[in-house]
Every structure is written in structure tokens, then in C-alpha cells.
Amino acid sequence: MNAFLSIHDVMPDTLEKVMDIMGYLKNYEIHHPSLLVVPGLDWTEKQVRILQSFADRGCELIAHGWHHRCSVRRPFHRLHSALISRNVAEHLDLHRPEILDLMRRSHDWFEKHQLPAPAVYVPPAWALGSLKAEDLLQTPFSVLETQFGLRYRRSQTLSETAYLPLSGYEADTPLRESFLRTWNSVQLKISVLRTLPLRISIHPFDLELRIADQLSKHLQLVSTVYPYCRAADIL
């Protein structure tokens, strides 16, 4: 099975967990996961050097929001927070110009710290907010991931969307376990039946949570892992 495989929420206080996951993935011959980095936190020089070491090993660095937290105010946001995102979907707290500004700051942080400039942006909890997928053309990024798939540039004036199955394993309650086991099973079937890459999203504590066994089973099926930045060539 082909896959886009990402480790989410790479932050100063999750780096050890991220490294544990990277070691775990080697058991499945997966050596170059894509890493979703949250820029707007208190990164030390030593931690930035660790990010550079990941990039040097061939891992793709992806911009993932700014602070990865927000205030939950609007009715829809409160519902989204309760069911899916808790307090991390920061796009839902902002208007479109503010989101575009956040994305540009997120991109610039990498260059400021002499890290490879990210080609890919993933909004926290995949929540675009008032941003539209077409707005990718107004940003420095060439690929935008949403809950439903990948939006990628074809040219300076044209972008396309590929709808791809998505699995997640952040099951920290019985309700989330029940939902995610079913959701992931359906997404895997879609991947197999339609010969589409499965987007496997791993969060820092997933190896300790309730469906780590399902994650293991899915990893055993992976034959090829694609970097997100090559979406336009692959899809």
C-alpha cells in the first residue's frame, strides 16, 4: 500500500515522543516520515538543530499552524472543539486575512531559523476556517492538506485537489476509540479498493493510546511512503 505518512504536532515539548515514533517506524522500514512542525513556540537553538537533523536524514518538514492553540468562541467552533479539535483549530478563531498572515509567518519562521523552507502547510485539526482551498495560490506553499485531501499547485494560476482517504489514531477516550476504529477501517478499504494512497497521521502520544494496535496493522501494509511535496507528480 502506498501512503503519505506524517507525524503531527512536532513541538519543543513533544520532541522526545516524536523521536520515539521515528524509532518505532523503523520497525516497519519507514525511515522518512513527514514532520508537522508548529513554529510559533519557544524553540531553543538545540531543538532547532534537532529539526535540522531530521531534515538532513530526509524527513520533510511541514508547517503546521502557528501556536496550535486558540480561544474557542464561536458556536460552530465550540461544536468542532467538543467533537474533533478541542482547542487547537486556530484557523477557526481567525478571519481570512488573518489566516493568510499566519500561514506566511509560519513559512517565514523556517527560513529565519535556516531550516528548509516548507512547501506544504497543514492547518491544525485540518480546519481551514474561512480559508478556501483555492487560497493556496495566495500563499508561499505549493501543497495544502485538508481533511478531505490535498490541494496542490499546477502553476501560478491553477491548483487541483486530490481526494484521499485519511486515518488517525489519537483515541484517548472510549468514544474516540469507537469512532476512529470504524473510520480508519473505512478509510483503509477506500484506499485499497480505489488504489489511492492512504494518509496516515500519527500524533505524539498515539503509541500509548487505545488503538495503537490498529496503527501497527496499518503500518505493516505500507510499501511506499511519499513526501507531501511531491503531490503534483504523484497524484
Q: What percent of the chain has pLDDT over 90?
A: 77
Measuring CA to CA, which residue among 34, 52, 44 is closest to residue 13?
44
Q: Is the pLDDT of residue 105 over 80?
A: yes
Q: Report d(CA 161, CA 145) in Å as an integer.
A: 9
In tens, the pLDDT along 174-209 reads 988 999 999 999 999 999 999 999 999 999 999 999
- Look up residue 49 and give its amino acid: R
Task: Say what the pLDDT of residue 115 is.
Answer: 98
CATH number, domain of 135, equals: 3.20.20.370
Give, in order, the Cα–Cα distances in Å from 82 to each of 75, 76, 78, 79, 87: 11, 10, 6, 5, 9
Q: How many domains does the chain have?
A: 1
Task: Say what the pLDDT of residue 71 is.
Answer: 52
In tens, the pLDDT along 21-35 reads 999 999 999 999 999
Length of the chain: 235
Q: Is the pLDDT of residue 68 over 70?
A: no
Across the chain, what does the average pLDDT equal?
A: 91
Q: Pinpoint the alpha helices (H) of 57-165.
A: 75-80, 96-112
Task: Say what the pLDDT of residue 134 is.
Answer: 81
pTM of the complete model beyond 0.75 = yes
- Using 50, 70 and 90 to split pLDDT, how confident is the model at 133? confident
**Residue range of the domain that includes 162:** 2-234
- Using 50, 70 and 90 to split pLDDT, how confident is the model at 77? very low
Beta-carbon contacts of 137 under 8 Å, excluding residues fewer than 6 positions away, are 153, 156, 157, 159
Task: Say what the pLDDT of residue 233 is.
Answer: 92
